[in-house]
Chain A
Amino acid sequence: GDSVTQMEGPVTLSEEAFLTINCTYTATGYPSLFWYVQYPGEGLQLLLKATKADDKGSNKGFEATYRKETTSFHLEKGSVQVSDSAVYFCALRLNNQGGKLIFGQGTELSVKP
């Protein structure tokens, strides 16, 4: 079935380090792909999205490129800040799957000063 797999967390980085969170997907069609972020005690915030192959989504210094050939949508940021500490969720949505988002298990990021 359709699914999303993220790298295991927690990920601990020092401030200004480079961040990569891996995300791969399995889908029967051509999904839209999303990254959401969840800060402690809060709901999900949309971070970025891409709707077709080779699209790059970007926001707040974060980037992810829709790679159809490797079925991946890895999240990257060149220089993380303490305020980036949160749980990051990769998700996909297929038009023929009744509207639902299918989420990965989430990756917790902790950035130390």
Chain B
Amino acid sequence: EAGVTQSPTHLIKTRGQQVTLRCSPISGHTSVYWYQQALGLGLQFLLWYDEGEERNRGNFPPRFSGRQFPNYSSELNVNALELEDSALYLCASSPSQGQSTDTQYFGPGTRLTVL
């Protein structure tokens, strides 16, 4: 069974630019979560999508946004990039039914560097 996949692996942008990160969940999973892992700040929850709807967002400014498509894949968009947006962005998925609905399975991440 294929795991969560993310693209691209690495990305370098400059301040003020916009970026789109992509995530494909495990087959059969309908929930997708985004987290930011910035140096010194640990893992911070960004967004949760389920069945195409945004269910919850963390304490991030509105320039962080995303969406979930009918096939349950997801995009994370970050506008007006700032230096402190440099981080590893992790996507996770979980099933909506069954015993493991509380368990999130992570992808390898996208490393974003903002210069």
Contacts and interface: CB of A to CB of B under 8 A. Distances in A.
9 contacts: A32-B103, A42-B108, A43-B109, A93-B102, A98-B56, A99-B33, A100-B33, A101-B92, A102-B45
Contact of A34 (B33, B35, B103, B108): B103
B62 interface: no
Interface residues of A, number: 22
Contact of B45 (A32, A45, A100): A100
Interface string B7-28: 0000000000000000000000
A105 interface: yes
A32 B56 contact: no
Contacts of B108: 42-43
Task: Tell me the dominant secondary structure on chain B's binding face.
Answer: strand
B106 A98 contact: no
A59 to B, nearest CB: 12
Contacts of B88: 43
A103 interface: yes
Interface in A12-61: 32, 34, 36, 42-46, 49, 51
Interface of B: 4, 6, 31, 33, 35, 42-43, 45, 48, 50, 55-56, 58, 88, 90, 92, 94, 102-109
A3 B106 CA distance: 21
B106 A103 contact: no
A49 B27 CA distance: 21
A64 B16 CA distance: 45
A102 B35 CA distance: 10
B54 to A, nearest CB: 10
B58 A106 contact: no
A100 B103 contact: no
Contact of A45 (B6, B48, B106): B106
Given A102-B45, A103-B42, 18 more contacts: A32-B102, A43-B88, A43-B107, A43-B108, A46-B106, A93-B104, A98-B48, A98-B55, A99-B33, A99-B50, A99-B55, A99-B94, A100-B48, A101-B43, A101-B45, A101-B92, A101-B104, A104-B42
